[in-house]
A and B are shown apart, each in its own frame.
Chain A
Amino acid sequence: MDISFVILVEMLYAVASLVLISAGLAVVFGMMKVINLAHGEFMMMGGYATITAVGLGVNVFVAMLVIAPLIVGLIGLVVERLVIRHLYGRLVDTMLATWGLSLMFIGLATMIFGNTTTGISTPIAGFAVGDYQINGYNFFIIVVAILLVIALYALFRGTRAGLIARGTMQRSDMAAALGYSPDRIYMATFFCGSALSGLAGAILAPLVGLVPTSGGAYIAKAFITVIAGGPSLIAGLVSSATTFGFVSQVFTFAISPVIGEVALLIAAVILLRAMPQGITSRFFRGKL
C-alpha cells in the first residue's frame, strides 16, 4: 500500500516536472513556431536568479515565483528584440541562433558565477509514509504544475489578450488589419515563454546542484516533449508529458534510473515514428 502511494507520487512528480520544464518552450513554439534552444539556459538563469536573491535575504518563495520569472522574462525580451525578431519564419535559423545564445549564456554564467556547483536547500520538509520517506517539495512541484496548466488555459481561453494572441498566431496579417501589432504580440508572448522558463528553473533549483551547464539537462527533454506533443499547445504538453513521465517512471522502478531515461528517449523515437506530427495531430484535434 505504502509503496504504491510512493510510486503514484513519483509518477505525478515526473509528469509535473516535465510539464514545468517544457511549458516555456511549448508557449514559444506552439504560438510562434520558434524553437528556443536557449530554453535550458533560461532555466539555468532562473535558478541562479533565485539563489542570488535568496543569498541577498529575499524570501525563497518570493524569489522563485516572482523575481526569477521577471528577471528571465526581461532577459528574454532583450533576446527577442536583438536576435529572434529578425528570424521569424525561419525555423532552422532561429534554432541555430538560439543555440548560439545558449552557448553565450553558459559562457557568461561561467564568467560570473564560476564553474562550481551552487544550490539552496529545499524549503519544504519531507515526511514519512509507512516505511518510506517522501520529499515534501515534490508535492509543491505537482501543485505548481497543475496551477500552471490551469492558468495557461484560462489565459488563452478566457481573456481578451489570449484571444488576440491566438488570433495573431493563426493569421498575423488579419490581426494587423484589425489594428493589433503582431510585433508587440510576439514580443509579449516571448516574454511570457521566457518567464515560464525562468519559473521552471527557479522551482527546480533546490532539487539540483546548479552549474552553468545545467541547462543542457533540460533542453533535450523539453524539446522532445514539446515536439512529441504536436500542434495543440496545452493538450499536447499535458499528453506528451504524461506519456513520457509514465514510461520513464515505470522503467525507473522496474530496472534503474538510467534505463528509465533511455526508455523515455526510445519512447520518443517510437512515438514520432508512429505520429510524425506529434500526439495532438491525431488525438485531441482542434483543442487548445
Chain B
Amino acid sequence: MGGSATRSAAREVILTLVVAAILIAAMPLLIGTYTLTVLVIYGMLGLSLGLIWGFGGILCFGQAAFFGLGAYIYAISAVNIGESTLPMILAVLLTAGFALLLGAMMFYGRLTDVYLGVITLVVTLILFKFINSTAGPQYVIGEARLGGFNGIPGFQTLNVPGDPGAYIWGDALYYVCAVALVIVFLLVTWLLRSSFGRIAVGIRENETRMALMGYDVAARKTVLFAIGAAIAGLAGALFASWAEIVTPTLFSLGQSAEIIIWCIVGGLGTRLGPVVGAAGLAYLEFVLGQQSMIDNTLIMGLVLVIFVLFLPRGLVPAIASLWQGSVGAFGRRRPVRRMRRARHG
C-alpha cells in the first residue's frame, strides 16, 4: 500500500511536470506573454484561496488583502533596498506572519463561517481605507512614499538574484512566474498528501470529531491560513513586479470577489480548479474588455449566479465526473469520490 502510494505520487508529479512544460511552451503561441504572465499570477492567487477554502473549509472574504499586502511589502522594500530578492522573501514571510496573527485571533476565538467572512472582509476594508488615505508626505516608510490613491510607482522590479542591473521582464518574467506556479502547485500537492493536509481535510469535514481525536484544530487552521496567505503574498509580489505599480485597488472588494468566483467556477476541493478558473476567467474578462456592447461586470455576475445554481461543484469536478462516467469502469466509485477528490484533485 505504502509503496504503491509513493509510486502513484511520483507518477503524478511527473505527469504534472510534463503537462506544465508543454503548456508553458505552447501557450505563448496563442496568447501574448504579457497577458499570460498576469493569468499565471492570478492562477497562483486562485490556488491560494483554493487551498484554504477547498481543503481547509475556511471561506476567506479577504484573500485580496494578502495579495495587496504582498504587493505593497514588495514595493516598499524594493524601493528601500534597491534589488528584488530580499523584498520577494519579505513579501512572502511578512504576509504569512500577518495572516498567522489574524488567523490566531479568529480561530482561537472559535469564529466560523459567516463571522469569519465578516472579519476577513473588514480587515480588507481597513487596509483599503488606510492605504487610500496615505496621500500626504508624512506617510513614508524608509524612502517609499505610500502615495494614497495613486499608489507606489517606480520601484525596482524583479532582477536576477545578486545583480540588480539584470531585470527580468517580458518573456523571461512569464517563464519565471510559470515555473513559480508549478513549484507552488507541487508544494501544495505535497502538503495535501502529507498528514497535515489530510488532517486539514478532516477538519473541513468534521471539526468536532478531529478535535475529539486530539488534534489542535485552531493551530492547524491558523497554519493553513498562513500558508494560503503566503502563496497570495508571493502572487502579489510577482504582480507588483509585472504591473510596475501598486495601487489600493489591489485591496478592493471587487478583487476579493473575483478570487472567490474563480474558485467556484473552477471547482472547490480541487487543486487544478482554482488555477484554471482564475486564468480562464481573467482571460475571458480580458477578451470581453475589448468590446463595449455588454458590460463586463454583468457577465461576470451572470457567470457566478449560473455556476452557483447549476454547477455548484465547478468546472473541473464536472468534467472529471463526465470523463469517468464515459470511461465507465470508474463510474461506480461514487461513494468514495469525496475522499478521492480531496487527495488527488
User: Is A147 interfacial (CB-CB < 8 Å)?
Assistant: no
Taking a contact as CB atoms under 8 Å apart, the answer to whether B253 and A103 are in contact is no
- With A106-B297, A111-B294 known as contacts, the answer to whether A224 contacts B122 (CB < 8 A) is yes
Taking a contact as CB atoms under 8 Å apart, the answer to whether B295 and A107 are in contact is yes
B contact residues around A261 at 8 Å (CB): 129
A272 vs B129: C-alpha distance in the bound complex, in angstroms? 20
Scoring A residues 84 to 106 as 1 if CB is less than 8 Å from chain B, else 0, what string do you get? Answer: 00110001110111011111111
Query: Which residue of chain A has its CB nearest to the CB of B296?
Result: A107
Taking a contact as CB atoms under 8 Å apart, the answer to whether A268 and B299 are in contact is no
**B residues 291-310 touching A (CB-CB < 8 Å):** 294-305, 308-309
Taking a contact as CB atoms under 8 Å apart, the answer to whether A258 and B308 are in contact is no
Query: Which residue of chain A has its CB nearest to the CB of B134?
Result: A258
Scoring B residues 110 to 138 as 1 if CB is less than 8 Å from chain A, else 0, what string do you get? Answer: 11111101110111011001100100000
One of B59, B121, B129, B300 near A223 (C-beta < 8 A):
B121
One of B59, B118, B304 near A227 (C-beta < 8 A):
B118
Q: Please tell me the size bucket of the interface on B.
A: 35 or more
Taking a contact as CB atoms under 8 Å apart, the answer to whether A220 and B309 are in contact is no
A contact residues around B105 at 8 Å (CB): 273
Most B CB contacts (10 A, CB to CB) among A100, A224, A273 go to A100
One of B113, B125, B302 near A100 (C-beta < 8 A):
B302
A contact residues around B106 at 8 Å (CB): 273
A80 to chain B, nearest CB (A): 13
Taking a contact as CB atoms under 8 Å apart, the answer to whether A272 and B304 are in contact is no
Scoring A residues 24 to 44 as 1 if CB is less than 8 Å from chain B, else 0, what string do you get? Answer: 000000000001000000000
Query: Which residue of chain A has its CB nearest to the CB of B295?
Result: A107
B256 to chain A, nearest CB (A): 10
A contact residues around B113 at 8 Å (CB): 91-92
User: Is B260 interfacial (CB-CB < 8 Å)?
Assistant: yes
User: Is A266 interfacial (CB-CB < 8 Å)?
Assistant: yes
- Taking chain A's interface residues, is the majority helix, strand, or loop, or is none over half, making it mixed? helix
B contact residues around A53 at 8 Å (CB): none
Query: Which residue of chain B has its CB nearest to the CB of A40?
Result: B253
User: Is B109 interfacial (CB-CB < 8 Å)?
Assistant: yes
User: Is B40 interfacial (CB-CB < 8 Å)?
Assistant: no
Q: Please tell me the size bucket of the interface on A.
A: 35 or more
Taking a contact as CB atoms under 8 Å apart, the answer to whether B298 and A99 are in contact is no
- With A103-B257, A107-B296, A108-B298 known as contacts, the answer to whether A96 contacts B119 (CB < 8 A) is no
User: Is B264 interfacial (CB-CB < 8 Å)?
Assistant: yes
A105 vs B113: C-alpha distance in the bound complex, in angstroms? 26
Query: Which residue of chain A has its CB nearest to the CB of B305?
Result: A100
- Taking chain B's interface residues, is the majority helix, strand, or loop, or is none over half, making it mixed? helix
B115 to chain A, nearest CB (A): 6
A60 to chain B, nearest CB (A): 29
Taking a contact as CB atoms under 8 Å apart, the answer to whether B309 and A272 are in contact is no
A283 vs B301: C-alpha distance in the bound complex, in angstroms? 39
A118 to chain B, nearest CB (A): 17
User: Is A265 interfacial (CB-CB < 8 Å)?
Assistant: yes
A268 vs B117: C-alpha distance in the bound complex, in angstroms? 12
Query: Which residue of chain A has its CB nearest to the CB of B121?
Result: A220
User: Is B82 interfacial (CB-CB < 8 Å)?
Assistant: no
User: Is A216 interfacial (CB-CB < 8 Å)?
Assistant: yes
One of B119, B253, B261, B294 near A269 (C-beta < 8 A):
B119
User: Is B312 interfacial (CB-CB < 8 Å)?
Assistant: yes
User: Is A83 interfacial (CB-CB < 8 Å)?
Assistant: yes
Taking a contact as CB atoms under 8 Å apart, the answer to whether A276 and B297 are in contact is no
A contact residues around B112 at 8 Å (CB): 276
B68 to chain A, nearest CB (A): 16
A90 to chain B, nearest CB (A): 9
Taking a contact as CB atoms under 8 Å apart, the answer to whether A97 and B126 are in contact is no
One of A101, A104, A262 near B130 (C-beta < 8 A):
A262
A contact residues around B305 at 8 Å (CB): 83, 97, 100-101, 104
B254 to chain A, nearest CB (A): 8
A contact residues around B300 at 8 Å (CB): 100, 103, 107
A96 vs B125: C-alpha distance in the bound complex, in angstroms? 19
User: Is A170 interfacial (CB-CB < 8 Å)?
Assistant: no
A99 vs B304: C-alpha distance in the bound complex, in angstroms? 8
18 contacts between A and B (CB under 8 A): A83-B309, A86-B309, A92-B59, A95-B117, A99-B301, A100-B300, A100-B303, A101-B301, A101-B305, A103-B300, A216-B253, A216-B254, A220-B122, A220-B125, A223-B118, A224-B122, A265-B125, A265-B129
Beyond A216-B254, A220-B122, 15 additional pairs, beta carbon < 8 A? A92-B113, A93-B312, A97-B308, A103-B298, A103-B301, A107-B299, A108-B295, A108-B298, A110-B298, A220-B121, A224-B122, A258-B130, A262-B130, A265-B129, A277-B115
Q: Which residues of A contact B (CB under 8 A)?
A: 35, 83, 86-87, 91-93, 95-97, 99-108, 110-111, 216, 220, 223-224, 227-228, 258, 261-262, 265-266, 268-269, 272-273, 276-277
Give me the 5 closest cross-chain CB pairs, A-B, nearest first: A107-B298, A103-B301, A100-B304, A104-B301, A107-B295
